[in-house]
Chains A and B, each alone.
Chain A
Amino acid sequence: MSESLIKIQIPVYLSAIFGILMILEHFFPMPGVVTGFNVAMRSFTTVVSAAALMLGVIFLTISHARTISQQKGGWYYSIFYMISLLITVGLGLLSVRNTNFLWIYDNMTSPTGAALYSLTAFYITSAAYRVFRARNWNAAVLLICGFIVLAMLIPIGGILLPPVVPIGEWLRSYPSSAGFRGMIMGTSLGIMGLGVRVFIGRQKEHLGIREERRGA
């Protein structure tokens, strides 16, 4: 089998066939064999996710092993990584409902995840201080609307400044909704266009393939 057939044509055909089957299932009552096949395909995404996770762990381990062997800057952190990996994988292989494994998740992974998510608040405040200046009329309108909606959203805002509640709800329900509707429609059309290009094989970057193009 030629390399082009394996690397390009077969994946493109499979993408198109599976994609069209999923679309048909949404619109037409399909026989059980097709529905069952689609359910199985969707379940395979769980398997692929797990495989992708394994792939990532392997890449990361190689990278850290290289850091340790070459004693690059911060190589001792890589040793922490290796130890953590061994402990977590070991406990997880015993059972993902193992008490110690759950302890690691409850007391280390999820608080860290929540803490990192909370970084957003700090960066939004820093960004707002730097960016929200009424440099021109457009920026001034943006600033005033943002102020009103924020005042509406904080619990005490409606108590301190009662007018912000009806104005903020109007802003959120009408101009903001209109803008979001436009964006949602545009994005949906963009996805349809991308889908057509992928299904007919005109764009293959998702397969890691970059073909020579005119004018690139």
Chain B
Amino acid sequence: MSILNKILNLDQRIIYAALFIALAYPILSPVILPMDIQGYSQQAFDFSDSIPEGTIVIFEGGLGAATYPQGGPGMVVQIYHMLTKGVKIVFFSIGTEQNFWTVRAIETAIAKLPPGTPAENGVDWVHLGYVAGGEAGVGSLVNDIRATVTSDYYGTPIDDIPLLEGVNDASSFSAVLWWGGSEGSMPYGIRQISVPFGIPITGMSTTNEVPNFSPYISAGQLQGIFGGVRGSAEYEYLMRLPGPALGQAMATNFGGLLWMALVILGNVIYFIQRSRGEE
């Protein structure tokens, strides 16, 4: 087999090793490179920043163990952003595992808050826990909270929660924040909350799902989106709150550049072979 053929049919283990080095090195030995902010992320940040103080937002926490590394840092920043602005938050999750990670994100965000920032459970935020039934469950929750859940994640009866006094449907919320990870569930929030109640929505999804939501952004139904680890990193950057996502985003630089180099290499060799009439 000619050398060109060998390169064209490169053993995948060599590719994996090269990618591992390209991703691991900037994480172990941080490399800070310039980064510009994507349009979608800026739009999502601007929208989040415009949510009026004192209003209540509904927040879906949809990150699991697999997606928390890329979305978790951004979710922590979003919670931090809302609480420091004085916006109150009603959390819920449509997955059981995601429910657990939402609590993790809340605890992490609260630990980062400046001293004196109001963040009392039941007053400034409440976590309604897992809501069964997927999209139908979301629809049920936002039309009648008390018919859907009887207590919050910690077992406090709904009627004993000061934040939910007089709040029983989505008409009391000023915005929807949907951190759906890889659930692909953001359309639930659009269809069940945003469109029927006229409440704007933004959130996060994994990078590969962002094209899925481009139609909604173009139509104005979604106010931008934080896409994957880069979206989380951009949010950290915009909030001046450096965290794990920034380091991971730097690593994606090298991974992406390696990917591009490999594809160029493959195509160059392919064309050389074709010009020589080889198979």
Residues of A at the B interface (CB closer than 8 Å) are 22, 25-26, 32, 35-36, 38-39, 41-46, 49, 109-110, 113-114, 116-117, 121-122, 124-126, 128-130, 132-135, 143, 147, 150-159, 165, 169, 172-174, 176-178, 180-181, 184
- Residue in B39, B147, B214, B270 whose CB lies within 8 Å of A39: B147
Q: Which residues of B contact A181 (CB under 8 A)?
A: 215
Task: Tell me the minimal C-beta distance from A166 to chain B in angstroms.
Answer: 9
Are the CB atoms of B217 and A173 closer together than 8 Å? yes
**CA distance in complex: A168, B39 (Å):** 11
- Residue in B16, B33, B96 whose CB lies within 8 Å of A126: B16
A125-B258, A156-B33 known; A177 vs B15 contact (CB < 8 Å): no
CB of B243 closer than 8 Å to a CB of A? no
From 52 to 92 in chain B, residues with beta carbon under 8 angstroms from any chain A beta carbon are: 64-69
Are the CB atoms of A109 and B214 closer together than 8 Å? no
**CA distance in complex: A50, B38 (Å):** 41
Are the CB atoms of B260 and A147 closer together than 8 Å? yes
Are the CB atoms of A180 and B211 closer together than 8 Å? yes
**CA distance in complex: A124, B96 (Å):** 29
Are the CB atoms of A129 and B10 closer together than 8 Å? yes
Task: Tell me the minimal C-beta distance from A99 to chain B in angstroms.
Answer: 15
Are the CB atoms of A129 and B257 closer together than 8 Å? no
Are the CB atoms of A143 and B267 closer together than 8 Å? yes
**CA distance in complex: A151, B249 (Å):** 14
Supplied contacts A45-B132, A126-B12, A153-B38, 6 more A-B pairs, CB within 8 Å: A25-B139, A35-B140, A42-B140, A122-B20, A134-B270, A154-B256
Q: Which residues of B contact A147 (CB under 8 A)?
A: 260, 263
Task: Tell me the minimal C-beta distance from A137 to chain B in angstroms.
Answer: 14
Are the CB atoms of B253 and A42 closer together than 8 Å? no
- Residue in B136, B257, B260 whose CB lies within 8 Å of A38: B136
A132-B263, A154-B256 known; A165 vs B36 contact (CB < 8 Å): yes
**CA distance in complex: A113, B97 (Å):** 12
Task: Tell me the minimal C-beta distance from B15 to chain A in angstroms.
Answer: 5
- Residue in B69, B252, B263 whose CB lies within 8 Å of A143: B263
A36-B147, A134-B270 known; A150 vs B33 contact (CB < 8 Å): no
9 interchain pairs, CB-CB under 8 A: A26-B136, A32-B147, A151-B260, A152-B38, A153-B227, A158-B36, A159-B35, A177-B215, A180-B212
A35-B140, A39-B148, A129-B263 known; A155 vs B249 contact (CB < 8 Å): yes
CB of B277 closer than 8 Å to a CB of A? no
A117-B67, A133-B270, A172-B214 known; A153 vs B144 contact (CB < 8 Å): no
Q: Which residues of A contact B270 (CB under 8 A)?
A: 133-135
CB of B151 closer than 8 Å to a CB of A? no
Are the CB atoms of B214 and A173 closer together than 8 Å? yes
CB of B220 closer than 8 Å to a CB of A? no
Nearest opposing residue in chain B for A109, CB measure: B65
CB of B177 closer than 8 Å to a CB of A? no
**CA distance in complex: A122, B262 (Å):** 13
Q: Which residues of A contact B210 (CB under 8 A)?
A: 172
Are the CB atoms of B15 and A122 closer together than 8 Å? yes
Task: Tell me the minimal C-beta distance from A23 to chain B in angstroms.
Answer: 9
Q: Which residues of B contact A121 (CB under 8 A)?
A: 19, 23, 255
CB of B168 closer than 8 Å to a CB of A? no
CB of B127 closer than 8 Å to a CB of A? no
**CA distance in complex: A22, B135 (Å):** 11
Are the CB atoms of B211 and A177 closer together than 8 Å? yes
**CA distance in complex: A32, B144 (Å):** 10
Are the CB atoms of B260 and A46 closer together than 8 Å? no
Are the CB atoms of B19 and A42 closer together than 8 Å? no
CB of B233 closer than 8 Å to a CB of A? yes
Task: Tell me the minimal C-beta distance from A200 to chain B in angstroms.
Answer: 21
Q: Which residues of B contact A122 (CB under 8 A)?
A: 15-16, 19-20
B244-271 contact mask (Cβ, 8 Å, vs A): 1 or 0: 0000011011011111101101110011
Of the listed residues A25, A110, A154, A165, the one surrounded by the most CB atoms of chain B closer than 10 A to its CB is A154
Nearest opposing residue in chain B for A111, CB measure: B65
Task: Tell me the minimal C-beta distance from A53 to chain B in angstroms.
Answer: 10
Are the CB atoms of B35 and A155 closer together than 8 Å? yes
**CA distance in complex: A150, B39 (Å):** 15
In the A-B complex, the 3 residue pairs with the closest CB atoms: A42-B133, A154-B256, A117-B66
Task: Tell me the minimal C-beta distance from B233 to chain A in angstroms.
Answer: 7
Are the CB atoms of A155 and B263 closer together than 8 Å? no
Task: Tell me the minimal C-beta distance from A159 to chain B in angstroms.
Answer: 5
CB of B34 closer than 8 Å to a CB of A? yes
